[in-house]
Amino acid sequence: MRLDPFYPIVDSAALVARLVPLGVRLVQLRIKGAAEAGLRAEIRKAKAVCDCYHSTLVVNDHWRLAIEEGCAVVHLGQEDLALADLAAIKRAGLRFGISSHDRAELAAALAVAPDYVALGPIYPTALKPMRCGPQGLERLAEWKSLVGSLPLVAIGGLDPGRLAGVFAHGADSAAAATDIVGSDNPEARTRAWLQATAWRR
């Protein structure tokens, strides 16, 4: 699976609709703690936008809804992985990525043959409470040596200024969460990221 170097993670279909038309080719919809009816509507709307713009939508965690709504890719955190029916995901033809924070989690991820692996947090992050401290760029290089040609996503505390280091240390794609969602001008941040990753596209 070839990943675009810019991988924004957003929390609503509305944001997908605002950002994808700017040239975003890969986007993750990550919504936690919502009821199924609302989630389905959000996934459906986000997918409609991505289909229209020929972008790839990744659904975080809600693999059953992703299958039902015809989505192509899901992302599973380690906790999600424990509860996911990977056989069903594979049978439905979906691709999937998995998060990792240490060697044990990486091994668990690689054991199920994902389409990509993520490592985080590279830098301190506000996205969610982390069990471990920042991984740093050296860890990224270590991960790349272990995953080989499998696409590696770097996540956690990233902004355009940190991308040169991230790509130099082996990341294939850089995830943007707080830098975009937490901004009061997500369009401007998205444009900055698109520019900063242009040379890797």
Partner 1 sequence: MGASKASVVTVSLRRESPGGRAGGQFWSLVQGLGTAVLPNTAGCHTARDAVTTAQLAREVFGTDWIKLEVIGNHDTLQLHVFELVEAARILSGDGFSVFPYTTDDLVVAERLLDAGCQVLMPWCAPIGSAQGPRDMAALRTLRSHLPGVPLIVDAGIGRPSHAAAVMELGYDAVLLNTAVAQAKDPVAMAVGFAQAVEAGRQGFGAGLLEPRDMAVPSTPLIGRAVFT
Residues in touch with partner 1 (CB under 8 A): 17-18, 20-23, 25, 48-49, 51-54, 191, 194-195, 198-199
Contact predicate 49/10, CB 8 Å: no
Least separation in angstroms between CB 118 and partner 1: 24
Least separation in angstroms between CB 111 and partner 1: 34
Least separation in angstroms between CB 194 and partner 1: 6
Residue 12 tokens, joined:
């609503």
From the centroid of its chain, how far is CA 101? 14
| 3-class secondary-structure state, position 27 | strand
- Other Cβ atoms closer than 10 A to 192: 18
Output 63 or 193, the one with its CB closest to partner 1.
193
CA-based Rg of the chain, rounded to a whole angstrom? 16
Least separation in angstroms between CB 103 and partner 1: 32
Contact predicate 141/169, CB 8 Å: yes
Phi/psi at 139 (nearest 5 deg)? Answer: -60, -40
Output 58 or 117, the one with its CB closest to partner 1.
58
Q: Please tell me the distance from the alpha carbon of residue 152 to that of residue 143, in angstroms, as a whole number.
A: 8
Contact predicate 117/152, CB 8 Å: yes
Output 6 or 123, the one with its CB closest to partner 1.
6
Output 128 or 191, the one with its CB closest to partner 1.
191
Least separation in angstroms between CB 93 and partner 1: 22
Output 18 or 128, the one with its CB closest to partner 1.
18
